């Protein structure tokens, strides 16, 4: 019997006898068959791994071959190019690493089956309203993950810039709240591990691109959140960052090569002048400093010109899309990375997911400089980003000015009209993501001296004009930054999200009257928008503002919605003869916020600082 076992052992592949793997990183950790692009580049990290030869042994799930194995400057890395042939099947194959004929390491690499319909998944679009959550600040559903042994930062709710303990479970517990509010799509700021000593809560300093931060939950929890959203008919947007990682990222202690990140003789900050990328007259000095300067001392600037880094980022993006059934992507600091790589990324994503929508954070103040970055722009330099959507920062800026300013020839409500009237700059203005505020800017109420009327006007505007609206969590609860200004207080905890909170703002009983009034206004408009194809995808026709009044229509063959914004401190009675090219087809209307019928459209009364939204009737 012993002799038979010995004989069998001799016949088995040598790598079964390999010593325990000293390999500490294999990224991506697994992959899928069935992608259009059949190339896969696996990064291996392990002590002196470059001194081995790589082979596939044991069961090979068909059609799989090693094309090339690359060594880079550091012997602790290998990059393995694999080709998944047409006959590649899901399964596990063994990567063996040999030195002088002896297998010294091995890794069981899994190729999974793609989920049915994965490639054709619908993304977020004009029918959606995005709700932006900072997971550390929404709700703490699991206090056992607040502090994780060995991680560098613990919870301290007394400090606005520390971790507060919110997590995926907390969001899972409040999906009914989001569904009832009427938003359709969830964008969470990044959930990847950020094992940084300070400011780790915001998620923009990844220390592992393949792992959800344990203080938020597990990778599996993230998948379950996506599944739960889908079961409720909602969508999930992932927030990705290609420009930088965290200074405590594991590879910072052992970089693959000197050019893995952009390095400077001394710390050099990006100019943050994103407009310099599209500037026809830009100096090389400015261009390099913007593009290769670091976003912050704790955020090393990734070098997307490095071909291995390029593959790494593209594959990481695809990996999360497939792994967690993601519906859409928000890309952070979009103009900061090497733009040709970003264009290639967009192309690859749209090849694998033809319906995918990606919105880029192109934080600039003019329609022209933002439009440069939208897919299909006719740019003088020929650049095409392959980025379907961009945030409408110019409209955000106009929203801050419009209701605060005294009405004048160039001021007040005209600000909104002027930005919208520049939509010719964009290949697809309807796909812009519109917002009154987000996690990086002042809360809208703070910009309007806490005047709730102005917040209501802003919400009415972004939910009825063109675009895909985004609402920052807490807007419906009149959340403000207060006296203690700063990023940490823009991102306040939702009352009721933490055990021991004095009230629960997730319930009507836990909200005060003004909060309930705001909640109800947003709730009613969101639910109306869900059923109004005119507001989602209808055409826009607007009239030049006069006397502080801006009037526009959203319409299609089914319905027409009239919106009148009164930016005056007085109630106005409006003679509507000026709008007869539209109104001639209608005899009455219904106010959608209160259901009131209007039988005479020739004269309309709009209270001070308010918006009238009317569904017109024949």
Interface residue list for Ca ion (CB under 5 A): 140, 142, 145-146, 165, 167
Closer to Ca ion at the Cβ: 217 or 300? 217
Catalytic hit among 361, 476, 493, 515: 361
The CB-of-144 to Ca ion minimum distance in angstroms stands at 7
Q: In what order do the strands lie in the sheet with 77-84?
A: 23-27, 39-46, 77-84, 64-70
Closer to Ca ion at the Cβ: 142 or 446? 142
The CB-of-140 to Ca ion minimum distance in angstroms stands at 4
Catalytic hit among 153, 195, 221, 332: 332
Among the listed residues 493, 496, 516, the one whose alpha carbon sits nearest the alpha carbon of residue 505: 496
SS3 341: helix
Whether 377 and 384 have beta carbons less than 8 Å apart is answered as: yes
Beta bridge partners of 131: 186, 471
The CB-of-196 to Ca ion minimum distance in angstroms stands at 17
Compute the residue count for the chain. 618
Which residue do the tokens 């309930």 mark?
516
Helix/strand/coil percentages in the chain, nearest 5: 30, 25, 45
Closer to Ca ion at the Cβ: 217 or 256? 217
Name the helix (H) or strand (E) containing 611.
strand 610-617
SS3 131: strand
Sign (positive or negative) of CA dihedral 9, 14, 16, 20: positive
Q: Report the C-alpha gap between 323 and 220 in whole angstroms.
A: 10
Residues in contact with 613: Cβ distance below 8 Å, sequence separation at least 6, in sequence order:
460, 464, 525, 561, 562, 563, 591, 592, 593
Closer to Ca ion at the Cβ: 21 or 228? 228
Closer to Ca ion at the Cβ: 140 or 196? 140
The CB-of-208 to Ca ion minimum distance in angstroms stands at 19
Instruction: Record the tokens describing residue 591, joined without a space.
Output: 């106010």
The CB-of-149 to Ca ion minimum distance in angstroms stands at 14
Q: How far does the chain reach from its first CA to its final CA, in angstroms?
A: 92
Which residue do the tokens 């109004």 mark?
532
The CB-of-142 to Ca ion minimum distance in angstroms stands at 5
Closer to Ca ion at the Cβ: 157 or 603? 157
Which residue do the tokens 């899901």 mark?
90
Q: Report the C-alpha gap between 614 and 604 in whole angstroms.
A: 11
Among the listed residues 26, 31, 67, the one whose alpha carbon sits nearest the alpha carbon of residue 49: 26
361 tagged catalytic: yes
Q: How many beta carbons lie within 10 A of that of residue 581, not counting itself?
A: 10
195 tagged catalytic: no
Closer to Ca ion at the Cβ: 68 or 159? 159
Closer to Ca ion at the Cβ: 142 or 301? 142
The CB-of-133 to Ca ion minimum distance in angstroms stands at 14
Whether 362 and 403 have beta carbons less than 8 Å apart is answered as: no
Whether 208 and 249 have beta carbons less than 8 Å apart is answered as: yes
Whether 616 and 576 have beta carbons less than 8 Å apart is answered as: no
The CB-of-220 to Ca ion minimum distance in angstroms stands at 16
Residues with active-site annotation: 332, 361
């Amino acid at each position: 019997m012993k002799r038979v076992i010995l004989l069998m052992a001799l016949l088995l592949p040598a790598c079964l006898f390999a010593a325990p793997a000293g390999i500490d990183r294999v990224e991506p950790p697994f992959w899928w068959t069935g992608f259009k692009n059949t190339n896969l580049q696996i990064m291996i990290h392990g002590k002196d791994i470059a001194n081995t030869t790589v082979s596939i042994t044991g069961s090979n799930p068909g059609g799989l071959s090693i094309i090339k194995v690359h060594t880079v400057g550091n012997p602790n890395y290998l990059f393995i190019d694999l080709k998944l042939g047409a006959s590649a099947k899901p399964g596990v194959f063994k990567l063996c690493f040999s030195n002088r004929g002896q297998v010294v390491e091995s890794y069981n690499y899994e190729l999974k089956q793609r989920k049915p319909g994965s490639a054709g998944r619908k993304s977020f679009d004009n029918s959606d309203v995005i709700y932006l959550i900072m997971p550390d600040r929404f709700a703490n559903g699991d206090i056992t993950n607040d502090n994780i042994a060995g991680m560098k930062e613990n919870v301290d709710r007394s400090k606005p810039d520390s971790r507060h303990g919110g997590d995926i479970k907390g969001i899972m517990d409040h999906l009914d709240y989001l569904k009832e509010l009427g938003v359709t799509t969830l964008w969470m700021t990044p959930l990847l591990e950020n094992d940084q000593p300070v400011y780790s809560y915001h998620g923009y300093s990844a220390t592992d691109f393949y792992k959800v931060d344990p203080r938020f939950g597990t990778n599996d929890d993230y998948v379950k959140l996506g599944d739960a959203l889908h079961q409720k008919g909602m969508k999930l947007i992932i927030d990705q960052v290609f420009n930088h990682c965290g200074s405590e990222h594991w590879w910072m202690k052992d970089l693959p090569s000197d050019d893995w990140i952009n390095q400077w003789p001394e710390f050099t900050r990006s100019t943050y002048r994103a407009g310099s990328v599209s500037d026809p007259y830009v100096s090389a000095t400015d261009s390099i400093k913007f593009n290769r300067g670091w976003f912050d001392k704790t955020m090393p600037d990734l070098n997307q010109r490095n071909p291995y880094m390029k593959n790494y980022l593209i594959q990481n993006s695809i990996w999360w899309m497939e792994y967690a059934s993601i519906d859409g992507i928000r890309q952070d600091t979009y103009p900061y990375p090497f733009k040709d790589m970003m264009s290639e990324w967009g192309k690859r994503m749209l090849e694998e997911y033809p319906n995918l929508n990606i919105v880029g954070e192109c934080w600039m103040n003019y329609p022209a400089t933002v439009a440069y970055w939208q897919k299909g722009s006719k740019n003088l330099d020929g650049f095409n980003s392959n980025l379907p959507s961009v945030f409408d920062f110019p409209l955000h800026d106009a929203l801050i000015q419009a209701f605060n300013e005294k009405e004048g020839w160039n001021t007040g409500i005209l600000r909104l009209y002027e930005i919208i009237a520049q939509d010719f700059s964009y290949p697809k203005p309807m796909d812009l993501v519109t917002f009154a505020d987000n996690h990086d800017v002042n809360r809208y109420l703070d910009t309007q001296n806490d005047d709730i009327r102005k917040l209501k006007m802003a919400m009415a505007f972004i939910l009825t004009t063109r675009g895909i609206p985004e609402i920052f969590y807490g807007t419906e609860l009149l959340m403000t930054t207060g006296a203690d200004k700063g990023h940490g207080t823009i991102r306040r905890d939702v009352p009721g999200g933490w055990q021991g909170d004095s009230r629960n703002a997730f319930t009507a009983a836990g909200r005060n009257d003004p909060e309930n009034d705001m909640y109800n206004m947003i709730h009613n408009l969101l639910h109306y928008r869900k059923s109004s194809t005119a507001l989602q995808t209808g055409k826009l026709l607007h009239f030049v503002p006069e006397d502080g009044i801006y009037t526009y229509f959203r319409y299609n063959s089914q319905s027409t919605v009239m919106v009148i914004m009164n930016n005056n401190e007085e109630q106005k009675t409006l003679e509507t003869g000026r709008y007869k090219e539209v109104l001639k087809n209608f005899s009455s209307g219904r106010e959608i916020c209160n259901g009131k019928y209007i039988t005479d459209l020739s004269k309309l009364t709009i209270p001070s600082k308010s918006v009238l939204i009317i569904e017109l009737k024949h």
